[in-house]
Chains A and B, each alone.
Chain A
Amino acid sequence: MSVSSHSDGAAPARRFDAVHALKDVGFTTLIAFGLLLPLVGFLTVTDVRNDLILQTRFPLLFALTASIGISRLVYLMSVSRWLALRAERPVVAARPARFDWSAIAARWFIPFAIGFVIAYPVIVLLVKGREGAVTWVDNFGIQILIYVMLGWGLNIVVGLAGLLDLGYVAFYAVGAYSYALLAKTFGLSFWILLPLAGCLASFWGLLLGFPVLRLRGDYLAIVTLAFGEIIRMVLINWVDLTNGYAGISTIPRPTFFSIPFNANDDGFAARFGLEFFPIYRTVFLYYVILALALLTAFVTVRLRRLPVGRAWEALREDEIACRSLGINTTNTKLTAFAMGAMFAGFAGSFFAARQGFISPESFTFLESATILAIVVLGGMGSQIGVAIAAIVMIGGTEILRQIDFLKQIFGQDFDPTQYRMLLFGLGMVLMMRWRPRGLITRRAPSVFLKERKSIAGDLVKQGHG
């Protein structure tokens, strides 16, 4: 009985069923039309008298709908039949490869990656010259590294300890404002304020943690979200201290052993007998954030092998079992929170020093969501995964900003960055379909007796908050 039903089920896949396919295409086209009608079909523009005018873009709408329908038809005729045929074929056991490329890649990936990021500014300088390299080092180097560092910091809280924190940007803001205010008011240097900003941020982490960490799951997420908003509201409304929406400008920039990066006679370029270029400061900032990010990674790797790191992961696996083993779960959660907040504080003070200007606009919920997305897409708990996700997400946004050739296709008004959220959503959907637990899901054990075997992601719990 089961055999015959199997062959019945397989037969339509091999033969192309035109009626079925047409129905499917019609349905897809209908959905696409329904979705695109409000999104693409109508456009509101402001005219000269500042009135809002409704325009229609029906040709574009029909073109898009038709292209979706045709793509679906092509998919049904080719790809889905091929998939069905492949599913029927018996599975052939994979032969052991003579050369285990994946093992070699895993062995050399980290040294190669670190070598590359150290050499990156030099490569860019050689390729682009001293004028053109600034955007490359700044937008693709520093910007990405800030997010890599934030991702690694949040990874401690979300990935290791399993506490869902939606207000992580609050600690980033605390770090940034600590540096900006203390540097402007007391004239302290960047290198004194960097650890101080980290301490202040982790102090706020503790302060938030005490009342909040008895909550679990969704409740914890909501309270941390609220905390992030409270910090932002305080920054907006405490105008005397923070200057409100206007923000703080002319924040002192970091110096190279108290040599400033400017065009003056005592500036960096003049002291070293070089011609003045802004790239020197950019490269210097790049190495500062690189060092900070590597410090974050190093500390996290070390912590994972210490009892506190193991307790974080145990907490994510099973909190009640932790308590039955004599682990003070409140303290353990607080250390995770404070440690994550500290790295956000470092990143924040660096951000303020690099920009020279900060305002509450930089610390919205979208920032928290972006950092959390980096951690989740990268694979919770995985350092390499988080770094790759940060490069893809932040670097991807920057690339959208840089590509000009699309303007030649779609006209001068076309702004690719407007499609950022669309692409982001598409990426999320694809990830949820094929890698729901992130890019790198396997967990490396912190200690081993005979051999280090990585643990499959589906065994690892994701925490309950």
Chain B
Amino acid sequence: MAERGDTLLSVEHLTMRFGGLVAVDNLSFAARHGEITALIGPNGAGKTTVFNCITGFYKPHVGRIGLCHGAPALWDSLDSLTASGRRSTKSSDGALYALERMPDFLVADEAQVARTFQNIRLFPGMTVLENLLVAQHNRLMLASGYTLLGIFGIPSYRAAERAAIEKARHWLDRIGLLHRADDPAGDLPYGDQRRLEIARAMCTDPILLCLDEPAAGLNPRESAELNTLLLSIRDRDAASILLIEHDMSVVMEISDRIIVLDYGVKIAEGTPKEIRDDTKVIAAYLGVADKDVAKVEAEVGL
């Protein structure tokens, strides 16, 4: 099985264009098992586009995105998988997926990559509990015999539904929303909606959880709670996290590795400490050329 630090996701030469605009340009990076990898960069750097490519919402123009369940030795078969034209290869010690070939719902269902959205996408007219049950759709669908048996209320479906509710209850407890289980999701305050979206993604049992700005709009206390939640997801639930975030208190504190994008190009990669001291990164965030960084920093008193 995969150990902490093995490569989980490998993005190679990813390029995505919208008309004349190159949103992501020849980007390569890897995310590792059991780690939190952060993707940062100024607005419009192409971070969400990368997410959409990984989760199958966009089809990249160039590049491949591999995801490995299980033993790292599987990575050796990535070239043969690419040549075969298939979406995935499975063996006794795991599976390897070519995510760029998979439609979005299969990325979530088979490759077990869950995601949240920058602008929260809950089901506002359904209760909190229902939101978490929809996330367990595929397992429940199987248990209900693709609806045919479920109509007659067979006991095995009822058992599966109880298990699903139990799991939802577990996650509601983790995010502290158990008392709001029967309220419509659209009635929750903003911070609770953010946490619920993470819980909903976790109910799909993901191997990789992609979070698009989970701390946006949270106050400092909520951000700190989010840090605890994300660390517990990494450590207790064995889910690796890929994170887009602007809130540096979140990024610097919990990330194991950080990748910095600017205008669709990777400009730096490393541990939080390395990134903090990188002139190129500071230049990108300040919006000035590299050589002027020292001058501008002196001006603003950094």
Contact = CB atoms under 8 A, between A and B. Distances in A.
State yes or no: do A and B come from one complex. Answer: yes
Interface of A: 299, 302-303, 306-308, 310-311, 313-314, 317-318, 320-329, 335, 443, 445-453, 455-456, 459-461
B137 A327 contact: yes
A323 B201 CA distance: 12
A307 B140 CA distance: 6
A53 B58 CA distance: 66
B135 interface: yes
Contact of B135 (A325, A335, A443): A325
A307 B144 CA distance: 8
Interface of B: 55, 57, 104-106, 108-109, 114-115, 117, 121-127, 129-130, 133-138, 140-141, 144, 147, 150-151, 153, 157, 161, 165, 169, 178, 181-184, 186-187, 200-201, 204
Contact of B134 (A302, A314, A456, A461): A314
A326 B151 contact: no
B134 A447 contact: no
A459 B129 CA distance: 16
B151 A324 contact: no
Given A306-B144, A307-B141, A325-B137, A451 B126 contact: no
**Residue from B55, B178, B182, B204 with most neighbouring chain A CB atoms (10 Å):** B182
B56 to A, nearest CB: 8
B285 to A, nearest CB: 29
A449 B129 contact: yes
A321 B121 contact: yes
A252 to B, nearest CB: 31
Q: Which of A308, A311, A445, A449 has the most CB of B within 10 A?
A: A449
B147 A335 contact: yes
Contacts of B200: 325
Contacts of B133: 307, 310, 447
Nearest to A317: B123
**By CB atoms of chain A within 10 A, which of B114, B121, B178 has the most?**
B121
B114 A317 contact: no
Contact of A326 (B124, B127, B138): B138
Contacts of B141: 307-308, 311
Given A313-B130, A324-B57, A324-B121, 15 more contacts: A302-B151, A306-B140, A307-B136, A307-B137, A307-B147, A314-B123, A317-B123, A321-B123, A325-B135, A327-B134, A446-B130, A449-B169, A449-B178, A449-B181, A459-B184
Contact of B123 (A306, A318, A448, A450): A318
A16 to B, nearest CB: 44
Q: Which 9 A-B pairs have the closest CB atoms?
A: A460-B125, A326-B109, A326-B108, A317-B123, A307-B140, A321-B121, A459-B186, A449-B181, A314-B134
Given A307-B140, A459-B184, A324 B122 contact: no
B150 to A, nearest CB: 4
Contacts of B127: 445, 447-448, 453, 455
Nearest to A454: B184
Q: Max chain A CB contacts within 10 Å: which of B122, B130, B161, B183?
A: B130
A318 B117 CA distance: 12
A324 B55 contact: yes
14 contacts: A302-B153, A307-B133, A307-B140, A308-B147, A318-B123, A321-B121, A321-B123, A325-B200, A326-B105, A328-B105, A447-B165, A449-B129, A459-B124, A459-B184
Nearest to B186: A459
A455 B130 CA distance: 12
B147 A317 contact: no
B105 A323 contact: yes
Contacts of A325: 108, 114, 134-135, 137, 200-201, 204
B182 A453 contact: yes
Contact of A455 (B55, B125, B157, B204): B125
A443 B125 contact: yes
A166 to B, nearest CB: 24
Given A324-B104, A335-B147, A461 B137 contact: no
B117 A321 contact: yes
A447 to B, nearest CB: 6
A324 B113 CA distance: 9
Contacts of A313: 123, 125-126, 130
A299 B141 CA distance: 17
A461 B124 contact: yes
B182 A317 contact: no
B184 A455 contact: yes
Contact of B182 (A321, A335, A452): A452
A174 B126 CA distance: 35
A299 B153 CA distance: 12
Nearest to A451: B182
A303 B184 contact: no
Nearest to B112: A326
A328 B140 CA distance: 14
A312 B181 CA distance: 21
Given A307-B141, A324-B104, A326-B137, A461 B125 contact: yes
Contacts of A456: 184
Nearest to A313: B126
A308 B187 CA distance: 24
Nearest to A450: B182
B134 to A, nearest CB: 4
A307 B161 CA distance: 9
A326 B137 CA distance: 8
Contacts of B182: 445, 448-453
Contacts of B55: 324
Contacts of B186: 459
A38 B114 CA distance: 63
A394 B148 CA distance: 34
Contacts of A459: 124-125, 184, 186-187
Contacts of A460: 124-125
Contacts of B137: 307, 310-311, 314, 325-327
Contacts of B204: 325-326
B117 to A, nearest CB: 7
Contact of B117 (A317, A324, A446, A452): A324
Nearest to A460: B125
B115 A448 contact: no
Contacts of A306: 140, 144, 147, 150-151, 157
Contacts of A446: 130
Contacts of A328: 105, 109
Contacts of B105: 322-323, 326-329
